[in-house]
A = this chain, B = another copy of it.
Amino acid sequence: MSTVVRNIHRADAGAIATLERLGASTVHEAQGRTGLMQPYMRPVWRGARVAGSAVTVLTPPGDNWMIHVACEVLQKGDILVVACTSENSDGAFGDLLATSYKARGAKGVILDVGCRDAAEIAEMKFPIWSRAISARGTVKASLGSVNVPVVCAGVAVKPGDIVVADDDGVVIVDRKKAREVAAAGEEREKKEAANRARLQKGELSLDIYDMRKALAEKGLKYVDGPAE
């Protein structure tokens, strides 16, 4: 029941790089508005944007033993994704683990539990997203698993799926769709750039996206007002 899977498939490095540049919001749109973790997942410090292959951990509450175990199977560029068997905010990850994961090449960590040593981690510029910041330490008493499918903050994550995280949250991309989503995201990016330029000049999105007819058909009424 408690298993560590040593090897995982990883997505194409180019696709990962593109997804990282696009960021969570664009990627989320590009794959049909799916894969976003719940918005309680917040960065420990603002300003990071990363993407990488998910190494997953399933842990019982108040225990970080499997996070120590997972570090060995992680490769350069991977992102740790920690799910918990029940809701828990204990500080399962602190500056020592951050030092270790950084040294081994991890690009970031996603914790559906708590993070501690927030000040030190911000100073290290090591990217972490968590459901809480909490000084509460954890034990090393019960097993869990590494590199099994998990549900983390409301999203199903398979080992090797791509994690895209920034100030807007954490999005998971199916490994096999990485290139397709990256391409769709770049398409979207181009369209947005064109629209941004028009919006900056004061044009209305009502006109740019040609919404007036659909609104009228739905029954939207304009009145002059004010009523009083």
Interface residues in chain A, defined as those with a beta carbon under 8 Å from any beta carbon in chain B: 1-9, 24-25, 28-29, 32-34, 36, 38-39, 42, 46-47, 49, 60-62, 65, 68-69, 71-72, 85-91, 94-97, 99-100, 103-104, 114, 116-119, 122, 132-137, 139-143, 147, 149, 151, 154-156, 159-160, 166-169, 171, 192, 195-196, 199-202, 204-206, 209, 211, 214-215, 218-228
Contacts and interface: CB of A to CB of B under 8 A. Distances in A.
Given A3-B221, A103-B201, 18 more contacts: A1-B219, A6-B224, A28-B136, A29-B137, A47-B119, A60-B139, A62-B86, A87-B87, A96-B195, A96-B199, A99-B196, A104-B204, A119-B166, A119-B167, A134-B168, A135-B169, A147-B226, A154-B154
A166 B94 CA distance: 14
A228 B147 CA distance: 12
Contact of A88 (B34, B86, B149, B154): B86
Closest 7 CB pairs of A and B: A5-B225, A135-B168, A39-B134, A61-B61, A100-B199, A25-B135, A24-B135
Contacts of A136: 28, 33, 36, 39, 85-86, 169
A110 B55 CA distance: 31
A28 B89 CA distance: 15
Given A222-B6, A225-B8, A156 B154 contact: no
